[in-house]
Amino acid sequence: MGNKVVTFTEPQLEAYQDCTFFTRQDVLRVFKRFRELAPELIPDDMSGELASQIKIPLEKLEEMPELKENPFRRRICEIFSDEGNGDMSFDDFLDMFSVFSEASSRDIKSTYAFRIYDYDGDNHLGKGDLEKTLVALTQNSLTQEEVNFVVNKVLEETDLDDDGMLSFVEFEHVISRAPEFLNTFHIRI
């Protein structure tokens, strides 16, 4: 009859289940992954405000196997980080895993994908955003001339209102024609 460590309170677990696509066991598995990234920073007991206060630095998060090879790992961390700097609390981390889960809808995934590609945060994918996205995808293997050509072609084929940038609606239209999108926007726990 030993003392069992309580990681989260019942209300916390219920709230996490209500706000994510996860069961209580999934939440605890995600917490285990979170804690493994920085056991020296993350206590076993996360009751109270700790789940939103203690943060794992961006540099440690980028080393996660699920993100390490992803060319957008820094952007992903910045988007899901409450402060926008890439450092994540457990709440941020759980949100990220929930959005990338199999149970997350295409609408939610496309909303976050749009935010990840919208580098300047102006709610449109302009030429600069598309260039940065293309450079990340190709790991900087294209010349500037090739990048310009591809960006112009993308806009020519997807910019339905000819304003020189993609709105979220135009982006969603592109995503709807890409059935593989849901498979690539995914992390397993």
Q: Which tens digit of pLDDT belongs to each residue from 86-127?
A: 999 999 999 999 999 999 998 999 999 999 999 999 999 999
Could you tell me if 170 and 160 are in contact, meaning their C-beta atoms sit under 8 angstroms apart? yes
What is the domain extent for residue 144?
Answer: 106-184
Question: What number of other Cβ atoms are within 10 A of residue 167's Cβ?
Answer: 16
- The set of residues, in sequence order, having a beta carbon less than 8 Å from that of 115 and lying 6+ positions away, is 79
Task: Quote the pTM value.
Answer: 0.90
Do 77 and 114 belong together in one domain?
A: no
pLDDT by residue (tens digit) across 126-175? 999 999 999 999 999 999 999 999 999 999 999 999 999 999 999 999 88
Side chain identity, residue 138: T
CA-to-CA distance for 35 and 74, rounded, in angstroms?
Answer: 20
Residue 1 pLDDT greater than 60, yes or no: no
Q: Are residues 123 and 144 in the same domain?
A: yes
- Residue tagged 């059935």 (tokens): 179
CATH number at residue 54: 1.10.238.10
